């Protein structure tokens, strides 16, 4: 399976040519990595002749999805059919041809939300300012996909995959989760039904994209889990004495009448400071004061968290009980709290 990039658009219609400009910037670098680049513009006949049944396609296009100009949208071919009315005519027409001639071909669409469309050779100022950033993002998306496909095609064991590959895989998943949290947080503070519905649509779309990502690469993820389990099996924890010796020791203790009392776990809350909501409000992260927040009855110190700089976090203020917002933004996953210092408990 080879990766092929097809850039779609019209350079005479201002931002509609963004995909052509991005592909031109990356063509030499991608070619050196074995990724072919083709330019469909508004004529797809030549591109179709270059496609093979075993190819994996990455379509670069412009988009009209009501997002911020310059935002990049990623959809699989499967998801595209749910939202194709939001895209330009380029992806729609080409995908219909691909499905007709090569129904088994898989791929994704990387589209950039555009700002202006008019008869003009060049980009709008908005996309021009973001062009370098878009080049980096498109490059990363293509390289990530290429590396994952190499792992799948060659059936490389996880133990042979470099640490960088694992980090990139985690980064992709983290980006999806971060986007879901962002839209969830925006929905919490939405002031109208329209805004709430809009952010819910974005949440559902991102969740679907994440689900499809796991579905496409579940083989790789399963291999990772299998190898991790295998490592643990190959390196069991050393136990002091054999099972027979342990049983013998237990019988001797019973015969001698000696019984080992179980050690009681210390009460974690025994030496914890108690905060009322009034006392907690003092620790708002402003004017040099620490930034504390309460989540599900526990008070955490977020002073050293960059996203809580100045005691603010996506509209939330330190010195408050943010349990409800945490449940919405992080879907109740307490793992993110494990790295935060606990400074006390919240009382009535």
Is-contact 70 124, C-beta < 8 A? Answer: no
Query: H or E segment at 206?
Result: helix 193-216
Give the per-residue pLDDT at 290: 92
Higher confidence at residue 269 or residue 178? 178
Q: How many CB atoms lie within 10 A of CB 14?
A: 21
SS3 235: coil
Per the CB < 8 A criterion, the answer to whether 89 and 100 are in contact is: no
- If you average pLDDT over each of 69-83, 270-284, 327-341, which comes out highest? 270-284
- 90-104, 131-145, 184-198: range with highest mean pLDDT: 131-145
Q: Which two tokens stand for residue 222?
A: 């399963």
- Residue 42: predicted pLDDT: 61
Contact 311, 338 (CB under 8 A): no
Q: How confident is the model at residue 211 (pLDDT cuts 50, 70, 90)?
A: confident
The answer, as to whether pTM is greater than 0.75, is no
Q: How does pLDDT run across 172-186, given as a tens digit for each residue?
A: 777 788 888 888 888
What average pLDDT score do residues 301-324 get? 85
Give percent helix, percent strand, percent coil of the chain, each to the nearest 5: 50, 15, 30
Q: Which domains does the chain have, with CATH numbers?
A: 3-154 (3.40.50.1450), 273-346 (3.10.120.10)
pLDDT of residue 278: 92
């Amino acid at each position: 399976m080879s990766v092929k990039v097809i850039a779609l658009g019209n350079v005479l219609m201002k931002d509609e040519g963004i995909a052509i400009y991005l592909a031109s910037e990356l063509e030499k670098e991608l070619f050196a990595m074995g990724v072919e680049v083709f330019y469909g513009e508004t004529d797809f006949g030549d591109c179709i002749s270059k496609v093979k049944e075993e190819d994996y396609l990455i379509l670069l296009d412009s988009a009209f999805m009501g997002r911020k100009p310059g935002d990049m949208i990623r959809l699989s071919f499967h998801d595209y059919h749910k939202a194709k009315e939001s895209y330009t005519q380029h992806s729609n027409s080409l995908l219909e041809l691909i499905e007709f001639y090569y129904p088994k071909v898989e791929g994704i669409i990387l589209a950039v939300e555009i700002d202006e469309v008019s008869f003009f050779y060049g980009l709008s100022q908005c996309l021009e300012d973001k062009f370098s950033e878009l080049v980096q993002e498109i490059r990363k998306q293509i390289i990530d996909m290429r590396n994952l496909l190499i792992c799948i095609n060659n059936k490389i064991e996880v133990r042979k995959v470099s640490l960088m590959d694992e980090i990139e895989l985690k980064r992709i998943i983290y980006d999806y989760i971060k986007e879901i949290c962002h839209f969830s947080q925006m929905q919490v503070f939405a002031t109208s039904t329209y805004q709430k519905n809009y952010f819910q649509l974005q949440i559902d779309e991102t969740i679907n994209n994440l689900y499809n990502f796991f579905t496409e690469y579940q083989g790789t993820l399963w291999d990772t889990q299998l190898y991790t389990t295998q490592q643990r099996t190959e390196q069991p924890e050393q136990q002091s004495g054999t099972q027979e010796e342990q049983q013998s020791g237990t019988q001797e203790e019973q015969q001698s009448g000696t019984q080992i009392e179980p050690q009681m776990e210390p009460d974690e809350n025994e030496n914890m400071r108690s905060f009322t909501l009034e006392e907690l409000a003092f620790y708002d992260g402003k004017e040099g004061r620490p930034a504390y927040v309460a989540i599900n009855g526990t008070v955490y110190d977020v002073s050293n968290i960059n996203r809580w700089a100045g005691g603010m976090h996506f509209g939330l203020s330190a010195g408050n009980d943010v349990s409800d917002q945490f449940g919405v933004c992080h879907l109740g996953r307490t793992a993110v709290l494990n790295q935060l210092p606990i400074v006390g408990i919240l009382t009535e």
